[in-house]
Structure 1
Amino acid sequence: MRVLLVVVLAVATMSVASPAEAAPYCGIRWGSLQKYSSATSIGSITGVRAGRHACYDRLVIDVAGKVDGYEVQYMPKQTTSRTEFAHLQINVDAAMIDPAGHFTFGNDNNFVLTGFSKYRTFRAVRGGGLMKNAIISLDVRARLPFRMFTLDGPGGGSRLVIDVAHRW
């Protein structure tokens, strides 16, 4: 009986991880430093949309063509607002108008997305741009870890995806 008790206690203590060894929240191992690619993109923005997930909020920027050039980074906090949010700036090497001068997203060179009251991280999304670069501002509740990646498709298009974790 003593041998069995000693074995059970030994197994139990081996399976408990110390706080330093514990996995990050939801397995997220992202950081909050700048992410970029200096490649040149050929395309125009056709949509910007957001979604909620269990561990993060997601922003997707749809591009007609290949998106290769981008820069995503936290900027200094804005002091003009009464409510302070962390400000994630997304520069996309993609136009918001086509060669004929027609807007490819929205009806002018600026846009605002609304409806973030049920999001845990996102607070506001706005952006603008014309012929070459689009600048999208993503306000989040704090400087939280994020990741970004690109996806091909649908068709000949591509997507720039930015996920911001709900917490560290």
Structure 2
Amino acid sequence: MRRFHACLGTVLVAVGLGLVAPGPASAAPYCGIVWGSLAKSNPALAQAQVVNVRTGPQPCFDRLVIDLNGAVAGYSIRYVPQVLQDGSGLPVDLRGNAFLQITVNAPAYSAGGNATYNPADKNELTNVSDYKTFRQVAYAGSFEGYTSLGLGLRARLPFRVFTLAGPGTGSRLVIDVAHMW
């Protein structure tokens, strides 16, 4: 009995000193991110064309921006086992362990068929070598009024999608992918 009380006393002292304390019931989300990783889409079609793709690292996420010369109307962004090219359906080889297929409901060519976005290197749209989440951004084509990109990621992580008006009459489709859950 004396041994039991000695052990109980030791445990109570350890708990009182904070040496043995239960963890929190649930951890707070990383950077307040509560986005999730399910597909996000808007089926509307745009009269605008894709004119640029750019990226930027942020403290809690990596950002991809698609610039249009008019209003963003629709898009579809989802995790896929493999990104496929528009029209042909051929696979797009990407670095990473998870892949987002990004489709904006706007062509990368004018009504006359002239390119409004024609990247110099379709496999490396931007240099993301020092990013925490992005591994590669590749062009997957523009076909029948839709333009697709492939985004190779470190892992399947939460992402959000939103649109911004401007500059001028243009707009932007923004995809943020968190660095962690």
CA 155–83 in structure 1, closer or farther in 2 if over 3 Å, else same? closer
CA 42–19 in structure 1, closer or farther in 2 if over 3 Å, else same? farther
How far is 1:99 from its partner? 1.5
Aligned equivalent of 1:125, options 137, 140, 145:
137
Corresponding residue of 2:176: 163
Q: How many residues align?
A: 153
The structure with the largest strand share of the pair is 1
1:136 maps to 2:141: no
Larger Rg: 2
- What pairs up with 1:18-167 in 2 under 5 angstroms? 19-76=24-81, 84-106=96-118, 110=122, 112-127=124-139, 128-167=141-180
What is the rounded CA distance, in whole Å, between the counterparts of 1:140 and 1:157 in structure 2?
A: 28
What is the rounded CA distance, in whole Å, between the counterparts of 2:102 and 2:119 in structure 1?
A: 20
Unpaired runs of 5+ in structure 2?
1-22, 84-90
Corresponding residue of 2:17: none
CA 77–134 in structure 1, closer or farther in 2 if over 3 Å, else same? closer
Unpaired runs of 5+ in structure 1?
1-17
Q: Which amino acid aligns with 1:149?
A: F
Q: Which amino acid aligns with 2:78?
A: Q
Could you tell which deviates more after superposition, 153-162 or 121-130?
121-130
Give CA deviations for 1:76-110 in whole Å, capped at 9, x if unaligned. Answer: 158996965201011110111112222111268x5
What is the rounded CA distance, in whole Å, between the counterparts of 1:80 and 1:162 in structure 2?
A: 19
How far is 1:117 from its partner? 1.4
How far is 1:55 from its partner? 0.4
CA 150–20 in structure 1, closer or farther in 2 if over 3 Å, else same? farther
3-state SS of 1:91 partner: strand
How far is 1:149 from its partner? 0.3
Quote the RMSD (CA, aligned, Å): 2.7
Q: Which amino acid aligns with 1:121?
A: T
Give CA deviations for 1:26-78 in whole Å, capped at 9, x if unaligned. Answer: 11111000000011211100100000000000000001111111000000158
CA 45–101 in structure 1, closer or farther in 2 if over 3 Å, else same? same
TM-score, with structure 1 as normaliser: 0.81
Contact 2:96 2:135 in 1 (8 A): no
Contact 2:123 2:138 in 1 (8 A): yes
Give CA deviations for 1:120-164 in whole Å, capped at 9, x if unaligned. Answer: 000111112145000111010100000000111111111000000
